[in-house]
Amino acid sequence: MDFDSSCFGCRLFSCKHIIKKVAVLKDWLKLNQLPKLNNPVLIAAWPGMGKVAFTAVAYYKKQLHAQVLGDIKGPEFFAPTGSVVRKQVVRAPEPAENRLYVYQSKDSGRDVVFFLGSVQPVPHMEYIFAHRIIDVAEKLGVSRIYTTAAAPSDMQLKDTPRVFAVPNNSDILKELLNHEVYFMGDGSIAGMNGLLVSVARERDMDGICLLGEIPFFTVQIEYPKASLQIIQVLSKMLGHSIDFVDLEMYAEEKQKDIEPLAHLLSRERAEPDTHDMGSSMISPHEEKVPKSVKARIEKLFRQAESDRAYKSKMRLKEELDNWGVFQDYEDRFLDLFKKSQGDS
């Protein structure tokens, strides 16, 4: 096969080699084009606590007007775990969306490949799926991967969230000193937002996870204030000019929605309920919970403490909510996030 200077494949390897690779990948990778990219980076995100990661990357992608590049297929990696209700009606399960976008800079900024996954892969399949994404990144010439996540803490709602930077290579630490970031101690970053950076290291690719600080009680509430801080840092790292106005306004609206909850929680902790404490030390909720359920709750706590996974915590939270006993276990539940220091 003759060399074609206009062919992206020829510029990287050889057309014959690329055709062979695409034949292997075509069952799960659909790309609309193979663009010539200038030292691109990959920015990836999945849903997680506070919706911090997904909100940050989706907004960044929108502001750069990135175009759809293609999709990664893999129904074996995903399975519905609940139902979606719209207009008072339960909808049929929707397939997971794993979409790639591309932004080609017209100035000195870096080209960017974005990946947005609508749901996390099923347990025990995350590692394989992370390698699949790295495969695509390599084919597109990506030199570094960025992910984002949430870092629950005891911060006050009025505080500006800190951004923690966790690289997968100690050589990057010196580079990060030039940015307004903090560094994490020992801990873990659960979920795909953490795992992808770890797998990138395994594949000799640089990676950084940027974690936005959120209050403990917002783990299940969208907290765009942290997303805003993340992309302010990330855009400086990559040399992109981003308009933050829309996200700033959205963060302010959400902040107003959250303030009553923050006030309620602070009041409850300052004024513990002592009603009828003398007659019984057992919560009325606990009286109606069967012993088998209490045993299951304890088992879920042990699982969440051992694997520190976001999914384990959420399964525990659902069980507590189903039996109306979350308040009885609230402090213990929040302690799970203090121990993990940076779940995604």
By mean pLDDT, which of 60-64, 203-207, 226-230, 338-342 is the weakest? 338-342
Least confident of 84-88, 171-175, 176-180: 84-88
In whole angstroms, what is the distance from residue 36 CA to residue 31 CA? Answer: 13
Tokens of 21: 């690779």
Query: 160 near 230, Cβ under 8 Å?
Result: no
Mean pLDDT of the 54-74 span: 95
Per-residue confidence (pLDDT) for residue 225, from 0 to 100: 96
| Residue 171 to residues 5, 166, 184, 207, 230, Cα–Cα distance (Å) | 36, 12, 16, 11, 21
Under DSSP, the state recorded for 153 is E
Q: What is the pTM of this model?
A: 0.71
> Which of the four pLDDT bands, split at 50, 70 and 90, describes residue 340?
low
Mean pLDDT across the chain: 83
CB 128 within 8 A of CB 104: no
pLDDT more than 70, % of the chain: 81
* pLDDT (0 to 100) of residue 6: 40
| Half-sphere exposure for 141 (CA within 13 Å, toward CB) | 16
Q: How far apart are CA 323 and CA 289, in angstroms?
A: 7
Residue 214 in this model has a pLDDT that exceeds 90: yes
Would you say residue 341 has pLDDT above 70?
no
How many Å apart are CA 282 and CA 276, to the nearest integer? 10
Mean pLDDT, residues 210-229: 93
**At residue 248, does pLDDT exceed 70?**
yes
pLDDT in tens, 7-19: 433 433 334 333 3
Q: How many CB atoms lie within 10 A of CB 115?
A: 24
Alpha-carbon distance of 42 to 62, in angstroms, equals: 15
Q: Tell me, what's the pLDDT at 142? A: 96
Kind plus residue range of the DSSP H or E element containing 163: strand 163-167
Domains and CATH numbers, the chain: 1-27 (no CATH), 32-79+92-251 (3.40.50.10900), 281-344 (no CATH)
What is the gyration radius of the CA atoms in the chain, in angstroms? 22
Asked if 323 and 293 touch (Cβ cutoff 8 Å), the reply is yes
